Structure 1
Amino acid sequence: MALLETRLLEIDRRGYRSYQKIKGEYTYSDYQIYLEHIQLDPHAPPSRVRIVRPWAPIKLDFLLEKSNSYQIAARDFIARQLYQLLHKHPHLQMQRPSQHILDATQVIFQPEGLEIRVEVHLPEQERKVMGKQAITLLTETLPKLVRKVTSIHELDMQALEMHAHLAEDQEALRAQLADAGLVAFVAEGSCLPRLHGSSDKPLPDAHPLQVPDSLAVTLHAPHAGAIRGLGIKRGVTLILGGGFHGKSTLLKALEMGVYNQIAGDGREYLVTDPQAVKIRAEEGRCVHQVDVSPYINHLPFAQNTQAFVTQNASGSTSQAASVQEALETGATCLLLDEDTSATNFMVRDQRMQALIATQDEPITPLIDRIQALKQVHQVSFLMVMGGNGDYLDVADTVIQMRNFQPVDISAQVREICQTYPLTRPQLPPCPALMPKTRALKCASIRKALDKGSFRIKLTDNQRQVRFGHELIETQTLEQIAAPAQLLACVWLWVTWLDPSLKLEKNPSAHLNALLARPDWYKLLPQDRGDLAKPRVQEVMAVLNRMRIADFSV
């Protein structure tokens, strides 16, 4: 009888904490099982289990020779297949797959074999160990399910290949954007509306996107071939239209175009500049040493706007800070929706300029900085507008959404601007628009974990994350594609816990180097299957909202 079965029989009917005795590594004929984190209580977070199957018997080692995007998609495919099997078993669980193909830790390709990571609720009755049931669960049920998704003879290899080819096509399209002078591409026939506000699944029977010739471009995918679609050029693009005609729907689709989508999503061939960042007003958020002086100046009480600090930002100061923070991480395209923006940050019309003297108004609106950002710093903008016509003067392309279909009205807009010219005074250019690089004081990260236990976890709504005693609000970070990404964001901060590390002089560059590694997940706990690779923009955005984070300039 194997060692694991023996140990489980020895603790049968003992107190639940006796399960700690089964920690360890166990070898079976065609797999190894690692029990590295065992829950202390039936109501504690579940135990974490890894199963590794050697490459030779499963005959999937050819996947190691594929492209990185193919391997990520193959791992994602296997994880989706396993989820379909596990969610029927009350004692077994893993992260629910999203509409996106993410680089997640549920399935890992290791040199020694294919690794599966799952969570297990070890069986109990009246807080006692159920040893025989645990034997069945860990040595029969779980291995049987894992075998179904880790063998060339069990997997639908044609479906896996299609899944991976789709990911490779999307990566290829995204890689063509810069050379084509685009920040985004939406294939003709895409279906963008979602099922409802809390679901990212596609709306059935949505009208496929039709692309006018004036906005159409053709890109080439290695597997799908030539694809015609809506090309959104670099520069300033406005998305206009009446209410409920699809303006925000298009923008929301574009903000998620930094990720690859699964088949049937409706956005399979929609791709966006990988450095695009969605910006919005966030009244009440904290701001740490951010240079907002291009937009905010001469505040009351002589507050320093070149290293602005607050625990309770206004709508305008929060949005100015978010712009600067995004540019600090290397953002090359900013996405904004008028509905979620601070009006006084976006524009001051002629009448308000006449009423409130410049020396009495600390806010320089974005409209007076946007041309310099575009021309000097090559930052593009995608903006939804419903009631602010001043931005028509600075737009390079204007798209009207009519019944969820794009219409090119750029020529009409130019005629309107000539017929009804604006006479609002233009403010002088700002000599320095790009933010200073801030250094992170690593002691502030350690401080969050010093008080009380080492806790890193999501809250029940999975839009807040606890880092030690600090609860970080992240509901406004709309480009976090899955809870697993949010959790990985804060786990990456653990690289700054070294007591000898005083300052991280350029945290964005540090994170970029870590996330560029194909084995980035090796920096994180090796028993966790609930993590997914984020972008540096999201890691820094979460850090910027940690109230006790401390930066210096």
Structure 2
Amino acid sequence: MQTAADLRNLLNKIDHRGYPAYKDTKGMYQFPGYVLSIDHVQGDPFASPSKVSVIVKGRTADFPKELYIQTYLRTALQDELTRQFGRQAEQFAFKAKGSGKSGLISLSRPGQEVLERTCCQIEPKTGDITVRMEIGFPANGRTINARELIKILFDFLPVCVGKALYYKNLNGKRLKEIADLAEDQQYIRSHLEEMGLVAFIANGSILPRESGISSRPMKKGIAFVSPKEMEVTMELPHRGAVTGMGIKKGITLIVGGGYHGKSTLLKALELGVYNHIAGDGREYVITDDTAMKIRAEDGRSIQKTDISMFINDLPNGKDTVGFCTEDASGSTSQAANVVEGMESGARLLLIDEDTSATNFMIRDELMQRVIHRDMEPITPFIERIQELYKEYGISTIIVAGSSGAYFHIADKIVQMERYIPRDITDRAKKEAEQFPVLSVPEEKAKIPDFHRCPKASPAFKGQDRIKMKTLGREAVQLNRETIDLRYVEQITDSEQVTALGYCMRYAQKHLLDGRKNMREIIKELEEKMEKDSLAGLCESSSNIAPMAMPRKQEIFACFNRYRGLRV
């Protein structure tokens, strides 16, 4: 390993030379208290920035082991260090001048959710910390400006490292509070099952967000208060007794007038699969971490999915046990989404009437009389929802604003009134007695076939490199194929989409052999990420992309929306 002095001498030597000479800097350099690793050097000042990492030994960083001994604690600490380092780096971004991306100092910018990221990783045994960032190596035109890079690497970066990665320079009390919150959140999450719950929302939570483009809490937002009939209390390890609304397993219906908070509540439950930072307002909104938001998705690709539980005997004789289409309708897409959710191991489905296909969700009593069951290929969700729970243990939470059809079969009915929930189960059930009960199929549905065994796409054969591009949170592109993820609504960060792209690329090269089914493939991917972290998906340890951990459910969703999937 070379020294910091060696790097300084090299930079002085290549100053004013052509930009490609920067590539000579690639390597590791010992700085006081940390190692600087220049992992990948950009080709010119207008290209993607250079990748640089900092490694601080555990004994130097000196964080107490109790802050990172458990996985959930380590994720919380890594998240906080990322935020701290980012705040420091922002002060120095573009303070070094030059053309193109010269002077850029950038790393992951976490939102309200706490996610494991490649940006900052703590080695659990030693406590060694690695922080990865992008730096725009300065240039004048396409000529090296080494003096400005010396300013970044020798003046700016040491300040960022010292203020963000050394325990002695951080607020120990704040770090302890972050760890305590993570432990309390984990306690709730791990006790949902034994309490017979699928979700918990603490009293005092702030669910409304600042705006449609901001996930920060609304100022002066109405605090959540549980109906007395649904209150449960948990004794948390650090905060102590916390009371809130416990949503039990089974079928829960959320109703109410427009703009009273139905969808706001559902959105909080969707994102309750992740932990949130202190001050978010949803710190104690905890949902079963397998929960899946289900919606209609016109135009999506479906490859050999067994939707026969909901759709059968199509007039054109099309197979619904191995259903394929490049342009799904609302009903077929939602049916596929439910079945794929089952395949992914979801124990809770979250559905909003506003984004559902009406003919998939319900058929009222009059329509059943006029159009006989024998003439309708769709078995609506309302006729299978109890079967999903009783036979498969899958609960459902539905938001409904216009149809009362689910009143008969719901176990709990909650009315949102000015963002405050009311338990109206008894009253709604009594009113429902005056309306006819919908008939349900006499026969139970056959267990869906989950034995799809995808093969590697021929588009990638003979190619060593699969080009990948992330399009925000909306899509990932593999070579020329775009996987549309706009309606996979529980993706919360573009870096999760990047990780999904790497999952797809790794699977294409190593896992899709036509013998493993989807569950086996994704289990192997999870094991790979658990063993080698997200960085293990990258082909080169010197060019690790900024990624955030996706859930198993989103990995399934990405595979299922890949039009090039060969099953």
Which TM-score band applies after superposition, normalised by the shorter structure?
Answer: over 0.9
Match of 1:485 in 2: 496
Q: Distance in 1 between matches of 2:223 and 2:166?
A: 38
Q: Which amino acid aligns with 1:207?
A: I
Match of 1:257 in 2: 272
Match of 1:37 in 2: 40
SS in 2 for 1:159: helix
After superposition, the C-alpha distances for 1:299-332 in whole angstroms (9 at most, x for unaligned) are: 2332111011111000000000010111101011
Aligned to 1:432, which of 431, 434, 446? 446
Q: Distance in 1 between matches of 2:493 and 2:270?
A: 14
Match of 1:82 in 2: 85
Q: Distance in 2 between matches of 1:184 and 1:491?
A: 31
Q: Distance in 2 between matches of 1:138 and 1:191?
A: 42
Q: How does 1:254-293 map to 2 (within 5 A)?
A: 254-293=269-308
Q: Distance in 2 between matches of 1:129 and 1:453?
A: 30
Q: Given the superposition, is the C-alpha separation of residues 107 and 500 from structure 1 closer, same or farther in structure 2, using an over 3 Å criterion?
A: closer
Task: For structure 2, list consecutive stretches of 5 or more residues without a partner in the other structure.
Answer: 95-103
Q: How does 1:322-471 map to 2 (within 5 A)?
A: 322-422=337-437, 424-441=438-455, 443-444=456-457, 447-448=459-460, 454-459=466-471, 461-471=472-482
Aligned to 1:222, which of 237, 240, 243? 237
Q: How does 1:95-114 map to 2 (within 5 A)?
A: 95-110=108-123, 111=126, 113-114=128-129
Of residues 99-108 and 510-519 in structure 1, the stretch that sits farther from structure 2 once superposed is 510-519
The alpha carbon displacement at 1:246 in A equals: 0.2
Q: Given the superposition, is the C-alpha separation of residues 34 and 300 from structure 1 closer, same or farther in structure 2, using an over 3 Å criterion?
A: farther
SS in 1 for 2:133: strand
Q: Which amino acid aligns with 1:79?
A: T
The alpha carbon displacement at 1:348 in A equals: 1.1
After superposition, the C-alpha distances for 1:97-127 in whole angstroms (9 at most, x for unaligned) are: 1101111121111347211111111111212
SS in 1 for 2:168: coil
Match of 2:49 in 1: 46
Kept after mapping to 1: 8 A contact 2:383/2:441 = yes
Q: Distance in 2 between matches of 1:497 and 1:137?
A: 39
Q: Given the superposition, is the C-alpha separation of residues 501 and 383 from structure 1 closer, same or farther in structure 2, using an over 3 Å criterion?
A: closer
Of residues 514-523 and 229-238 in structure 1, the stretch that sits farther from structure 2 once superposed is 514-523
Q: Distance in 2 between matches of 1:135 and 1:65?
A: 34
SS in 1 for 2:219: coil
Structure 2 residue 171 is matched with structure 1 residue 171: no
The alpha carbon displacement at 1:207 in A equals: 1.2
The alpha carbon displacement at 1:94 in A equals: 1.1
Q: Which amino acid aligns with 1:273?
A: D
Q: How does 1:150-229 map to 2 (within 5 A)?
A: 150-229=165-244
Q: Which amino acid aligns with 1:311?
A: E
Structure 2 residue 31 is matched with structure 1 residue 28: yes
The alpha carbon displacement at 1:504 in A equals: 5.4
Task: Using structure 2 for the length normalisation, give the TM-score.
Answer: 0.92
Q: Given the superposition, is the C-alpha separation of residues 464 and 184 from structure 1 closer, same or farther in structure 2, using an over 3 Å criterion?
A: same
Q: Given the superposition, is the C-alpha separation of residues 450 and 413 from structure 1 closer, same or farther in structure 2, using an over 3 Å criterion?
A: farther
Q: Distance in 2 between matches of 1:307 and 1:63?
A: 50
Match of 1:547 in 2: 563
Q: Given the superposition, is the C-alpha separation of residues 435 and 230 from structure 1 closer, same or farther in structure 2, using an over 3 Å criterion?
A: farther
Kept after mapping to 2: 8 A contact 1:52/1:113 = yes
Percent of aligned positions that are identical: 38
Kept after mapping to 2: 8 A contact 1:293/1:305 = yes
Aligned to 2:17, which of 10, 14, 17? 14
Q: Which amino acid aligns with 1:60?
A: F
Task: For structure 1, list consecutive stretches of 5 or more residues without a partner in the other structure.
Answer: none
Q: Distance in 2 between matches of 1:346 and 1:487?
A: 33
The alpha carbon displacement at 1:452 in A equals: 9.8
Structure 2 residue 152 is matched with structure 1 residue 137: yes
The alpha carbon displacement at 1:501 in A equals: 5.6
SS in 2 for 1:399: strand
Q: Distance in 1 between matches of 2:301 and 2:461?
A: 19
Match of 1:248 in 2: 263
After superposition, the C-alpha distances for 1:316-373 in whole angstroms (9 at most, x for unaligned) are: 0000001011110101110000000000000111222233333332211111111111
Kept after mapping to 1: 8 A contact 2:224/2:420 = yes
The alpha carbon displacement at 1:455 in A equals: 2.1
After superposition, the C-alpha distances for 1:136-195 in whole angstroms (9 at most, x for unaligned) are: 212331132112111121111111111121111111101111100100000011110011
Q: Given the superposition, is the C-alpha separation of residues 320 and 268 from structure 1 closer, same or farther in structure 2, using an over 3 Å criterion?
A: same
Q: Which amino acid aligns with 1:412?
A: R
Q: Which amino acid aligns with 2:53?
A: R
After superposition, the C-alpha distances for 1:10-59 in whole angstroms (9 at most, x for unaligned) are: 32222222222221222223211111221112222211111101122222
The alpha carbon displacement at 1:269 in A equals: 0.6
Across the two proteins, how many residue pairs are aligned to each other?
547
Q: Distance in 1 between matches of 2:504 and 2:461?
A: 11
Q: Which amino acid aligns with 1:74?
A: L
Q: Distance in 2 between matches of 1:40 and 1:251?
A: 46
Of residues 299-308 and 325-334 in structure 1, the stretch that sits farther from structure 2 once superposed is 299-308
Aligned to 1:297, which of 268, 292, 312? 312
Q: Distance in 2 between matches of 1:99 and 1:257?
A: 11
SS in 1 for 2:564: coil
Kept after mapping to 2: 8 A contact 1:338/1:383 = yes
The alpha carbon displacement at 1:387 in A equals: 0.9
Structure 2 residue 105 is matched with structure 1 residue 92: yes
Q: Distance in 2 between matches of 1:529 and 1:242?
A: 45
Of residues 171-180 and 467-476 in structure 1, the stretch that sits farther from structure 2 once superposed is 467-476
Q: Which amino acid aligns with 1:431?
A: A
Of residues 228-237 and 479-488 in structure 1, the stretch that sits farther from structure 2 once superposed is 479-488
